Every structure is written in structure tokens, then in C-alpha cells.
Structure 1
Amino acid sequence: MTRTRQLHLGAFMRPVSIHTGAWRYPGAWPDANFNLAHLRRLIQTLEAAKFDAFFMADHLAVLNMPIEALKRSHTVTSFEPFTLLSALAMATERIGLIATASTTYDEPFHIARRFASLDHLSEGRAGWNIVTTGNPETSHNFGSDQHRARHPL
């Protein structure tokens, strides 16, 4: 009996590119991180190409980069993952939708509720990139000057 192996493909999108200067490339969409029409076209192209998953990384604070680099970057901001992936679920049928959620600043109930909603809206296509938050600047976005200790699940 011949055993076949299957290759699984996942697209790592933040949501469009991790390279800070990608927006300057000729033909690039400088507003792609906040343009639902562009993101819809991207994920539909991935789904047509038989990709298994669309993974959206997330950060709870501005990236640890020098301010001059941030001024030239399009990776500073993007849609909130659950809102975006819920919208993209309506434009796709098969591709998995993976979001980052941090256990450092979110309570288990909140994470479970968001993923349950995405899972129901997408008919079972939700996935979780489990992380702890290492950026101490995140604490300011949650009303504290003290970074929470990372804790295991």
C-alpha cells in the first residue's frame, strides 16, 4: 500500500506583511492593513490556492521599534483580529481562521467567548495562537504601570 503525505499551507499575515517597508513596494496597497476589500481579496486568493489557514498575528501594544522606524512602517496598526476574521468568515467557506490571543491580559472567559463566537460564525474554522505578552509597554494599555508576570496555561 502506498502512503501519501499531504502538505498543509498556512499564510502568516499581520495581516498583510511583516516587513515594515512593504507598503512602499510598487503595486503594494499602503492601506491594506485597514482595507477590508483588499484583505477579502487576499484571503479569497489564498482559499482558491488551497491554503489551509489564514493566521493573523496581533500585538497589544505598539511594537518595540525606534519611533523613526515606526513612522515608516505599516505594521504598527491593523484591525482587531476577531472583528476582521469574523468579517472574513463571511467571505470564505473553507480556510481556517487563526487569531492570536494573549493569556497575560485577557481572562479565560473573554478568550473563550471571542473564540466561540468566531467558531460559530465560521462554522468550525477558528484556531487559536496562544501567547503570553512579553512587551512591558502593554501594561499601559490595561491601566497599569506594572507589566503582569507571564503565567502558564
Structure 2
Amino acid sequence: MSDSKTLHLTAFMRPVSLHTGAWRYPGAYPDANFNLAHLQSFIRKLEAAKFDAFFMADHLAVLNMPVDALKRSHTVTSFEPFTLLSALSAVTSRIGLAATASTTYDEPYHVARRFASLDHISGGRAAWNILRR
């Protein structure tokens, strides 16, 4: 079937949710951004559902939000992407592991080294989200 189309799915997470108040949803895990067991469970479910990749967005500062809103948010911070993706690679076998990395604050060599390490640890599943400003 050479003319069939393939749909590729990537879970865009940071690492759990982008919505500031998602932790308030009944059955949600308020500590999920810093709970490795939950994150391992989530990525196993994504892989079982045939997702192609898990993308962890990252930013190098606290979100631009009012302080009172930050106090109620679970999206203020999360694990560092390379540490988390390396840990998640140990509990998965085929899902891609993508992260944002900036050469604005790190030398290109250091970014390349981190991705090369993740790529070797994960068996070739590392992907780089490159942003142009």
C-alpha cells in the first residue's frame, strides 16, 4: 500500500499538562510534574496507544503569570528534560523522546552532547525541538 497515508501522533506535554488548573480536575495527579512513577505510567500508555513521540516542552524561566496564579499552578516548573527523558527511555522501547533545548544559554557543543547521550541511552529515539527567535 504505497499510496496509503500514515498519521503520526506526538504527545505535547510539559511534561503533564499545559493548563494551569489541570491539577484540580477530579482524578488528576497534582504532583504529576515531579512524580516519576506517574510520568512512567503516562508514557507507557502513550507507547501502548501507538504514539510516535513524547515531546517535553521546556522553558528557562518562571511563566509570566501573576504570583497568585503561580501559587495555584502545577505548571510552574518540572523535571529538567534530558534527565526525565533518559529515565523514561528505560521504561519504553520505541516511542520517540523529544525536548526543547536552546543554544542561547548553552553552547552548541553542550546541547549536541546532551542529545547524543539521550540518543545512545534511548537506542536512537532522541529528537530536538529547535526554536528560532
Same fold by TM-score greater than 0.5: yes
Q: Deviations over 1:129-150 (max 9, x none)?
A: 1125xxxxxxxxxxxxxxxxx6
Alpha-carbon distance between aligned partners in 1 of 2:79 and 2:96, rounded to the nearest angstrom: 18
**C-alpha separation between the residues in 2 aligned to 1:97 and 1:42?**
13
- Measured in 2, the distance between the counterparts of 1:110 and 1:87 equals 19
Displacement of 1:68 in angstroms is: 1.0
1:103 and 1:130 in contact (8 A); partners too: no
User: How high is the sequence identity, in percent, across the aligned residues?
Assistant: 80
CA apart distance, 1:2: 6.4
Corresponding residue number in structure 1 for 2:65: 65
Normalising by structure 2, what TM-score?
A: 0.97
Aligned counterparts of 1:11 and 1:2: Cα–Cα separation in 2: 27
For normalisation by structure 1, the TM-score amounts to: 0.84
1:9-58 deviations in whole A, cap 9, x for unaligned?
Answer: 00001000000000011100000000000000000000000000000000
Is 2:36 the partner of 1:28? no
Could you say what the CA RMSD is over the residues aligned between the two structures, in angstroms? 1.2
Count residues in correspondence. 133
Instruction: Kindly indicate whether residue 83 of structure 2 is the aligned counterpart of residue 83 of structure 1.
Output: yes
Moved over 2 A (4+): none
- The reply to whether residue 55 of structure 1 matches residue 47 of structure 2 is no
Relative contact order higher in (CA < 8 Å, ≥ 6 apart): 2
Deviations 1:99-131 (A, max 9, x none): 110121111011011000000000000000112
Q: Is the contact made by 1:24 and 1:30 (CA closer than 8 Å) also made in structure 2?
A: yes
CA distance in 2, matches of 1:78, 1:40: 14
- Where does structure 1 lack aligned partners over 5 or more consecutive residues? 133-149
Q: Which runs of 5+ in 2 are unaligned?
A: none
Q: Which amino acid aligns with 1:118?
A: L
Identify the residue that residue 117 of structure 1 maps to in structure 2: 117
TM-aligned CA distance change 1:67 to 1:3, over 3 Å: same
SS in 2 for 1:116: helix
**Matched position secondary structure for 2:128:** strand
Partner of 1:135: none
Aligned to 2:101, the other structure's residue is in SS state strand
